[in-house]
Amino acid sequence: MDRFTDVYFFIDDSGVFDFAKNEEYFLYCGYMIIGNQNKDNLLRKYNAVRDEIAKEYLNEKEIKGRIFDKNIGHQLRDQLRLYKVMKSDYCYSLILKVKNKAIYPYILKDKKSKTRYKNYALKMMIKEALQQALKDGAVEDTLLNIKILVDEEGQSTNGIYDLEESVRSELFHGVRNFDYGTFYEPLFHNQKSSVKVTYCRSEVVRPVQTADILANLCYFFLHNDGYNINYFTRRDRCIYKVLPF
């Protein structure tokens, strides 16, 4: 029987994908964890810290980034503890920054075009993360079971299906650019590999809460004087991408 290598992506967003006058950046942040046991071990550590911190915030049922007042030192340190626990040789942090002012206006004016671009951005972040993991030897060109959990309410069924198919094509079939007559080889070659996208609410799916914590911190560090997003992007095993190129 073929044996899968499980690869998990937990992703959340921060900011608004809209015209630059309202919001300069849109962020996708989260984690790629390779291996089911590695995922379980990390989440066990995260939950232990999360449950300890939750005792200090008794009025909150769920620990999310928005509950922390980062202008109060100990609350920022509590949130950073949740971020710092998500570290292992098989865990990559993911940070994607989209520059709204560089996006064509026709994309931002149309809901379907915005969804397509966000799916494209996610696909490119996922591809780059797996490229790095392949380079590091953390994953091999073998049978993969890729599970992508994204916090995003209101996503249409078509949007989910389109993202799944787009990721599968990019990773396992390659991409042909007919305008330039070029073909980009796939990263992986086992056609039995699986790609599954699930959109969910981080309030009830604790693994995605890990991504919410990181996305909220990155947004704060990006928009407040005295802080720098390099605090996160310079971390070992961090995939940092900026779009458009």
First and final C-alpha spacing in the chain: 42
Q: Buried b vs exposed e over 173-199: b needs ≥16 C-beta within 10 Å?
A: eeeeeeeeeeeeebbbeeeebebebeb
pLDDT of residue 1: 37
Q: Buried b vs exposed e over 10-19: b needs ≥16 C-beta within 10 Å?
A: bbbbbbebee
pLDDT of residue 71: 92
- CB count within 10 Å of CB 99 equals 13
pLDDT at 157 over 70: no
Query: Which runs of consecutive H residues, i.e. helices, occur in 55-188?
Result: 73-84, 105-109, 111-136, 157-168
What lies within 8 Å, CB to CB, of 33 at 6+ separation is 7, 8, 10, 39, 42, 88, 90, 91, 92
Query: What is the rounded average pLDDT of the residues 179-187?
Result: 75
pLDDT-based confidence at residue 62 (cuts at 50, 70, 90)? confident
Taking CA atoms, 106 is separated from 111, 117, 231, in Å, by 10, 11, 34
Among residues of the chain, what percentage have pLDDT more than 90? 77
pLDDT at 153 over 80: no
Q: CA geometry: angle at 222 spanning 122 and 34, to 5°?
A: 40
CB-CB contact of 167 with 173 (8 Å): no
**What CATH architecture applies to the domain 5-243?**
2-Layer Sandwich (3.30)
Of the listed ranges 39-48, 142-151, 176-185, the one predicted with least confidence: 176-185
| Domains of the chain by residue range | 5-243
Measured CA to CA, the distance from residue 218 to residue 12 in angstroms comes to 11
Grouping H, G, I as helix, E, B as strand and the rest as coil, residue 217 is: helix
pLDDT at 23 over 80: yes
pLDDT of residue 184: 79
pLDDT-based confidence at residue 55 (cuts at 50, 70, 90)? confident
Mean pLDDT of the chain: 90
pLDDT at 32 over 50: yes
Could you read off the pLDDT of 100-140 as tens digits, one per residue?
A: 999 999 999 998 999 999 999 999 999 999 999 999 999 99
pLDDT of residue 185: 86
- Quote the tokens at residue 205: 């799916």
- Quote the tokens at residue 128: 């780059």
pLDDT of residue 21: 80
pLDDT-based confidence at residue 57 (cuts at 50, 70, 90)? confident
pLDDT of residue 182: 78
User: Residue type at 151?
Assistant: D
Query: What is the rounded average pLDDT of the residues 208-224?
Result: 96
Query: What is the rounded average pLDDT of the residues 196-208?
Result: 88
